[in-house]
Chain A
Amino acid sequence: MKIVVNGLEVWYNSTPALKNVSLKVSGGEMTFVIGPNGAGKSTLLKTIASIVKPRAGVIYIDGKLISSISPKELGKIVAYVEPHISKSIPSTVLEFLLTARYPHHSTLSFTTPRQDLEAVEKVSKQLNIEHLLSRRLDQLSSGELQRVLIARALIQNPKALLLDEPAAFLDLRYRLEVLDYVSSIVKVNKVICIVAIHDLYLASLYADKIIVLDYGEVVAAGTPDEVLKEELLEKVYRVKVHIVNINGRRVVIPVEPIERISL
């Protein structure tokens, strides 16, 4: 399982969002995309999930051009976890989670197979959202909703998992638990996993590979040891950082902004 991105260029109307992005991601490893606000992290994930159409460049999944894969087939392969879903029409968590199985069935089939429900059962137990199944989406807390969204992607059982800000709204326990769980699934099932995240600490804990984006361009890519360097992060984020070694991992600790906002 492999995703190859080559010379990707994405524009929103007249604004460039990604410029000449090339990268390779393989199954079984956690790839973290970091970078400041507006660097193009979400756009990169959305383009790989085929939600946004690139202006130039190609994306291959296992050697197959992504634009040649039917949307339905792609739904089986790629799952993108967006931070927002519409909750205006009231619907329960169970109803939402069951929709994740749709790519695996014919559009016109009418029954809900037992294994769908079992998949929902299993994942919701593991993510500790079982008690939420009968609740309405708009009654969940942000953290609960975040876990439901991640559960949805896992129920979809994709070969490539694209997580956009999975740690947002989660408390300390669930940040670690959820990412730990995702990373063990990735390791066991040899799934591709790309995570866009702001929390450099989590990136240094779980990343096998880190890609740094700035102004829509890849400024660095490689293992955490190669990428998490003080001068690079200070240049990209405009923040002074310390890098400390904990349990053999380079952990980033932000200290203070380089430019202070004057009163």
Chain B
Amino acid sequence: MQAKYIAAIAVALILGVIIGYLPPATAPKPTVTVTQLGTVTVYTTATVTQPVTLPTTVITTTTTPVITTITTPWPKTVIDALGREIRFDEPPKRIVSTIPSITEHLFVLGLGDRVVGVDKYSNWPSEVARLVEQGKIAVVGEPWTLDVEKVVALKPDLVLMCRGVKPQETQFAPKLEEMGVKTFFLRCDAAKDQYDIYADIRTISTIFGIEQKAEEVINSIQQKIDSITQRLTNVAKKPKVLHLVGPPSWGLYSTGGDTFIHWLITTAGGINIASQYSGWPRLSYEYILSQDPEIIIVAVHDVDPKRIFEEIVQTPLTNTTAWKTGRVYVLLDEADDMISRPGPRIADALTLIAKVIHPEVFGEVQRSDVVKLSSLTPVVQIAVAVKA
């Protein structure tokens, strides 16, 4: 009798798990639909993005010019990151960007004069801050708490949004559409490497018909990346890197193997110790100690690195090689922005991370927003004395 119930419960649990896995499996996959529409310029880049699977040292610059020759006349239809077909009769003139990386793309592509609204956190290039101060660009709230009324009041003909990694990030689009505002989704936060970012740049350029400019931007980014990867070809030793989101007291969250930061670490010649996980996994001290990272990168905003030093002294992280050899870096403010925004500055972010991971090749980082905890000299000596 009792075995029957146990069996029933087991069946119910298995059913639950299967049901739980169904929706993502059956959900539409935008990339699949895209490949069927071969005429659309944006996604012909898919052929170019093939090198993704190859080692990053491969020089891909030669393949890019193929794309620049393709231009479609107005009106045109572009497919966004949600797989929607969006029709454009003419290049949009009033754009609202809802996330910093999109703002960065727009300004790098020379579309800055068409931007009428940005989110609260858009702060690069410095021109943005200046334009906001002058009142030429309005601030429309935060990426996840968009002020829909403000957006509508700006009468934009295009709102660029981020598909992101969570479904709730697309929540504002239906509302805006209902009020007659055109929305367009880019991959941005879901980007896993430079090619995803190139795809975003190309998509934007297609919308505005400036494909040539996009290829120039992409070329210059790729050249920078190549110059870094080339210098790393002879480096045999890849140090193990732990990236921590915030100080350890905020829960030991790190970045998994399918994230943009993982790509940065790997491309810069390091090994991300959390690569077996996906997304933003929570680690345990035991896992960290068993992996024994040689470099720890703590990324956080608005925090005094001294406090992080004081906190790490209290934790078992002091048993890692990274701490013992004084290679714990705190990336603050702009440095944090750079590595967490899949925008046009990825080459700079890569340079930064490469300097952190391989100072013997690229030289030590010289930025005020990157602090090596061992360089907090007075505190370190006390700590070393205590340890000894």
The reply, when asked whether chain A contacts chain B directly with Cβ atoms under 8 A, is no
Question: Which residues from chain A sit less than 8 Å from chain B, CB to CB?
Answer: none
Question: Which residues from chain B sit less than 8 Å from chain A, CB to CB?
Answer: none
